[in-house]
Amino acid sequence: MIDLVSTVLIAAGILFFAFGVVGLLRFPDFYTRLHAAGKSDSLGSVLIVTGFALYSLKTLSAPAVLVAIKIFFIALFIFIASPTATHAITQTAMSVGVKPWEKGEKRR
Amino acid sequence: MMNPFMLGGAVAILLLMLAALYRLVWGPTVFDRIVSANMIGTKTTALLLFIGVLYEHLEMFVDIAIAYTLLNFITTLAAAKYFQRRPPVDASAAGTAGEEGKP
């Protein structure tokens, strides 16, 4: 049972990673690429890491629970840090003066 | 014996990292490169967990994954801070107002 749940979580995370990479390659300018990369990347990695935590909880021994707690800390850290990093890059790009793309322009 | 699902997932993440490497190499602005490097680093955290399950030493690879997550975050923040003080030379290639005397 717990094996099935962790498998589904990991597969969903890989799917979100794939969406993020497609967005990173296909969108026309920096801000739209960041829109694809930032959100799907943080959600996908949180899903995958939570799936591994459940996978480690399959055997309920003390080391396995410790490993699961560590993996949950990774998930918590990514959930806070990834949007922070995205925000910092966006702020830098705005202050340097990268202009947003408008409809009809050439993609860059 | 290797879990075929874990092996397939690791290979899929590796291929996605290779695809994201395109933006790292040919990205028009330096910020595209930073975002791509951040993305590859996040995928590396997941890949380390996959490798830990494949080699059945998850308790060792979890510590490496924690360290890699922290380093990835610090790297992105440091690069963003650096380019805020010193605007990149290729910013004008992406339709920026380069000659307005921004610091």
Residue A101 lies in a domain: no
Domain extent for B52: 28-87
Q: Are A17 and A86 in contact (CB under 8 A)?
A: no
The pTM for the full model equals 0.86
Q: How many domains does chain B have?
A: 1
Residue A47 lies in a domain: yes
Rounded distance between C-alpha atoms, residue B59 and residue A66, angstroms: 9
pLDDT at A49 over 90: yes
Q: How many CB atoms lie within 10 A of CB A76?
A: 12
Residue B45 lies in a domain: yes
Residue A106 lies in a domain: no
Domain extent for A40: 2-96
Residue B6 lies in a domain: no
Amino acid B91: pLDDT: 55
Q: Which of B24, B32, B66 should be substituted to probe chain A, the one whose Cβ sees the most A Cβ atoms within 10 Å?
A: B32
What is the complex's ipTM, to 2 decimals? Answer: 0.89
In the block, which residue shows the tokens 């951040």?
B38
Residue B62 lies in a domain: yes
Residue A58 lies in a domain: yes
How many angstroms separate the CA of residue B2 from the nearest CA in chain A? 15
Residue B76 lies in a domain: yes
Residue A102 lies in a domain: no
- Report angle CA A65, A70, A75 to the nearest 5 degrees: 120
Residue B54 lies in a domain: yes
How many angstroms separate the CA of residue B98 from the nearest CA in chain A? 8
Residues A30, B94: C-beta atoms closer than 8 Å: yes
Residue A36 lies in a domain: yes
Residue B37 lies in a domain: yes
Q: How many domains does chain A have?
A: 1
Tens place of pLDDT per residue across chain B (103 aa): 568 888 999 999 999 999 999 999 987 888 999 999 999 999 999 999 999 999 988 889 999 999 999 999 999 999 999 988 877 766 555 554 444 444 4
